[in-house]
Chain A
Amino acid sequence: MTRKLCRGGSSWALGGRRSSAPRTDPSGLPRKWDEASDVIIVGTGFAGLAAAIEARRAGAEVLVIDKMRTHGGNSIINGGEMAAPGNRYQKEAGIQDSAELLMKDMLKAGAYLNHPDLVRICAEKSTEVLDWCESVAGAKFVKLVFHGGHSVKRSVQTDNASGAGLVNPMMAKAKSMGVKFMMTTKMERLVTNREGRVVGMEVRKGYKFPDDQSGKVAFLKARRAVVLASGGFSQNLELRQIHDPRIDARFDSTNHPGATGEATLAACKIGAMDVQMDWIQMGPWTSPDEKGFGQVPQFCERLVGYGLMVDPKTGKRFIQETGNRKVRADAMMALNHPVIIFSDSVNVNRQVLPHTLAKGMENGAIKKFDTIEDLAKAYQVPLDVLKAEIAKWNGFVEKRTDSDFNCKIFPETTPVAVAPFYASRLWPRVHYCMGGLVANKDAQVKNFDLKPIPSLYVAGEAMGAVHGAVRLGTCSMLGCVVFGRIAGQNAAQQKPWG
């Protein structure tokens, strides 16, 4: 992944084409810095932009780099849904919520593997995040949504139902404040001085993803600090298989192609510690019949508890449909082939947004059937078993309890009976990396002496152990903004070294 020529702290980097004189001294420090800024931030997603705005507000000169042609990483393609306890929409709807309840939910979903001090900060700051995103960053959040695993309806969604609804206003705000941006600039190595303080980085300017040899080597001096907001590694097949060998090439990812994690590894090379890298979240709601994130997640998640998830080979249900992401994805991976989810027109029309249904049918990932026979034929499901399974499910619906898998059956759930029927195939995709760099509550990265590495901060998906075993939906956006802000504020306070 990294360039062969100037790997490690003690190798010499080549400078341009004309001169072969080494650009670094034997300790890896450049003889000349090409550019300098008080704070340098790697990544233009929620975390990086929140850090940039805060560092600038604190008076620092800020430079943000990103290796891709477009800004926003995973943040700009996300669903724009953010957990925000105590928000105005909850108050309007009479929903009681608190930071403590969010903390409980996050820890429970995370199987108590989350570092509690990080979760606490995340929860405590969660009540002010929405206000910050709206009044400082200039975003608009327009509605309240529910996500599995949360005790109450508490997440808010941006006005364009995309993370772009927060990223783009943040970007505009940062630019208007004088934050500088350098796209197609890839961080390859963190540069430390003799005391182990991070003093800058080696980058490739004019980098063309994913060509490791593209662009020109340059050195950026960070007078005060560096913030890593470089995201996860869901798209790095080799790295993710090192940590979870099951997640091989059979699995696509919902992430942007640049989610490859080399910045995290670069931090490890200067002594940073990583944690929980093998907790990689698979999204159990994606369809193999469409690309990327697609429409089916919105079809599937609205239908769980209102329809059946079936293994087409046996015609039987195999998992609690309303279980968390991990339980469901693990079950599908154990089956080793796509499964189906379906329900009837009454449940589907009540639960699924018309827009989702129309788009999913248009691209062929959601299919409509006039009879259960047609459905069984299309997915090669044994018809008799399937019919018996539906009858059984309808019995559970009548009784409001599922004695097979304990699926949540909602008050509005009706039997699967009225044609037409809608179905979709499901196969998990790599969605989120819970693991990352070890950090303290001030967003400082820790080393193997369990001490903060001077002048190195981390925020967002690159920070490990905030979410533990299972990240709750809509909590990433929250964590990105909370720790991005903290990292930016603290980075700006570091004493300049030169």
Chain B
Amino acid sequence: MTFHSFAAKLLPLVCALLIGGSLWAAPKRLATAKPGQCKACHGAKSALPKDHADTKGLAMADCRGCHEKGSSTDLTGKLPLMHTHQLKGVTCAQCHGKGKPQAVDKDKCLTCHALKEVSEKTAKMKPQNPHESPHGYQEDCNLCHHQHAKSENFCVTCHAFTFNVP
């Protein structure tokens, strides 16, 4: 009991020290960073391979010039979605608003991505259109699509559907 409460008190402090001392190179989430300006958040040690072209000033369409959709270098499922948003000109504030950023509800997603259109885009996916789940899971975008972490395939809880989730 005493030890646990002591440990509980200490934990946040240790975490703060670790993060503050950047022992964990977790990227910053700088609202002022320009898309393509990787270093602003990721620091000097770039997240990109050594011989990667300079990304300064690039937009998503430029990335796709090399990383063609469907090719082996396709970025789908590799690039956290918030990068795609940024590179397409969607800023942090456009989803989170001003002030301290809060978790965003799926309604925000729906303002740009109407469910019907999304579902049409994935209509041909096999063995099942992920946006036509009989369970209604498509109603909550956040179940699969994450902005600041790797997206996940929620269907695999019960099915062997191999979706590459952007």
Contact = CB atoms under 8 A, between A and B. Distances in A.
Interface of A: 5, 12, 14, 17-18, 20, 69-70, 72, 76-77, 160-162, 164-165, 168, 256-257, 290-293, 359, 362-363
Contact of A17 (B11, B134, B135): B11
A17 B9 contact: yes
Given A70-B137, A164-B135, 8 more contacts: A17-B9, A20-B5, A70-B135, A72-B135, A77-B135, A77-B158, A257-B157, A291-B159
A387 B154 CA distance: 44
Given A14-B4, A162-B134, A291-B159, A70 B9 contact: no
B134 A161 contact: yes
Contacts of A363: 127, 160
Interface string B126-141: 1100000011110010
B136 A168 contact: yes
A164 B127 contact: no
Nearest to A165: B134
Most chain B beta-carbon contacts within 10 A, residue among A14, A70, A76, A257: A70
Nearest to B6: A20
Nearest to A161: B134
Contact of A160 (B126, B134, B140, B154): B134
A291 B160 contact: yes
Contacts, number: 51
B158 A293 contact: yes
Contacts of A291: 156, 158-160
A292 B158 contact: yes
B118 to A, nearest CB: 18
16 contacts: A5-B1, A14-B4, A14-B5, A17-B12, A18-B9, A20-B5, A70-B137, A76-B135, A160-B134, A164-B136, A168-B136, A256-B158, A257-B157, A291-B156, A293-B158, A363-B127
A76 B137 CA distance: 10
A251 to B, nearest CB: 16
Given A256-B157, A291-B159, A292-B159, A14 B135 contact: no
Given A69-B143, A168-B136, A14 B158 contact: no
B158 A20 contact: no
Nearest to A158: B134
Closest 5 pairs (CB-CB, A-B) = A292-B158, A20-B5, A162-B134, A164-B135, A291-B160
B8 A14 contact: yes
Contact of A164 (B11, B134, B143, B157): B134
Nearest to A163: B135
Contacts of B12: 17
A162 B135 contact: yes
Contacts of B135: 70, 72, 76-77, 162, 164
A20 B134 contact: no
B110 to A, nearest CB: 16
A172 to B, nearest CB: 10
B129 to A, nearest CB: 13
Interface string B78-112: 00000000000000000000000000000000000
Contacts of B127: 359, 362-363
Nearest to A292: B158
Most chain A beta-carbon contacts within 10 A, residue among B126, B127, B136, B137: B136
Nearest to A72: B135
Nearest to B2: A20
Contacts of B158: 77, 256, 291-293
Contact of B4 (A5, A69, A70, A257): A5
A292 B154 CA distance: 13
Nearest to B140: A70
B137 to A, nearest CB: 7
A162 to B, nearest CB: 4
Contacts of B159: 291-292
Nearest to B127: A362
A222 B157 CA distance: 33
Contacts of A164: 134-136
Contacts of B5: 14, 20
Nearest to A75: B135
Contacts of B154: 70
